[in-house]
Amino acid sequence: MAMLTRAWTAVVRRLTRSLIILAVIALIFTLLMSTVAVRQTMTNLRLNVERNIRAGFSLSGTKGEGLPIKDADTVRRLAEIGARNYQVQTTARPNGLTLIDGGIQLSNEADAAAGVTGTTDSQSLSQFTGRLYQLEQGKHISENTRQAALVHTAFAQKNGLKLGNRIQLQQGDRQVDLTITGIFSGKTDKPGPLPSDQAENQIITSLAAAQQLSGSKQLTRATYFSSNPRALPDLVRRVKTLPLEWSKLELTDNAASFANVINSIASIERILAIGTLGISLAGIATLSLVLVFWVRSRIHEIGTLLAIGTSKRQIAEQIMIELLLIAIVALLGAMLSSQALSHHLTSNLLNNSSHVAGTLAVQPQAAPLASYLLAASLGLAVVVASGI
């Protein structure tokens, strides 16, 4: 207790020198805690991306031909397939309803046609996963949904539609009656020239309803999602070995874009790891140099303590306690400044990686308290190493 009191007295008595050391240690703590926190945030983000990005591939017919449903089911049986979404694209007239004006008006028949997308899982459609569309009311269409439809907010407002209303779609002499179970908003990325290409005139239905309208069981596209995103390339290679008529099929996957996102975040993690090591080494070198001058300025004091019988070990312990007292004060200040700095660094890193930020369907979460404690421990280790 007496040694702790002497150490505190020595720190207060030499306030200017103590403040200089305090500033150096606080800077080291701030940089270490910020880089460790940002790295942990990026690691959490990468793990969230791996869980949330729907890594997968799509099968479709070539030259506008349909995809036989038996071929789609053959691929579906692979063990590595985590989920799938069958789609049928067609057009139909919404009887008694008015479309949103837009596109080139070619004829009365073309004007009356709305775009229809039949699906087994509307939530997995690229428009929703890419956040072009957002479900505002109701619920998505699933595989067990029957005779249901999602309509755009603009289309619903123009025709006075709400959840639970029924609409009738007709194509030629085929027609289906559907119940509105959801209303969505959004815009198509690159709409075509026809009214049926406009997002406001899109009607998303259950798969069976779209097949009934088109008069065919064939699919326009089948999308499959890998249960293990990292295994997607191997899964695609396995699919290509299946006995399908590949001359009439086209396979596209998002492995490249998925890998780009993960690799970009992983690169940032590696840079931050190197930065943490560099800050630690630079901190040891800088603080050691400062402490050399600090100890040399106390030569007379040390000589006096030796003369009155104080051992070298006790003197070294007192100096180390003084250093730790200053470090604790520096740590408290660094905890506040490092949070602001780490938030700023994280935002800049994501903004500079626009292709990463634009692909993410998840938001980065703040680093947990354990990351700051780890950085604080590393900072104290730097202080102790410098003192030794």
Place of tokens 């439809």: 149
Cβ atoms < 10 Å from Cβ of 249: 17
Please report the pLDDT score of residue 213 as a whole number: 93
What is the structure's pLDDT at 175?
Answer: 92
3-state class of 118 per DSSP? strand
Name the DSSP letter for residue 355. Answer: H
Q: What percentage of the chain exceeds 70 in pLDDT?
A: 81
* Residues 165-197: tens digit of each pLDDT: 999 999 989 999 999 999 999 987 766 677 788
Which position has the token pair 């959801």? 182
Give the mean pLDDT of 35-51: 77
Q: What is the pLDDT of residues 132-176, one digit of tens each?
A: 899 999 999 998 888 999 999 999 999 999 999 999 999 989 999
Mean of pLDDT values over 187-216: 86
Residue-wise pLDDT for 94-140, tens only, equals 999 999 876 555 555 445 789 999 999 999 888 887 788 999 999 99
Whether residue 358 is predicted with pLDDT greater than 60 in this model: the reply is no
Helix, coil or strand: residue 102: coil
User: Is the per-residue pLDDT at 86 higher than 90?
Assistant: yes
Contact partners, residue 137, CB within 8 Å, separation at least 6: 163, 182, 183
Mean pLDDT of 241-258: 83
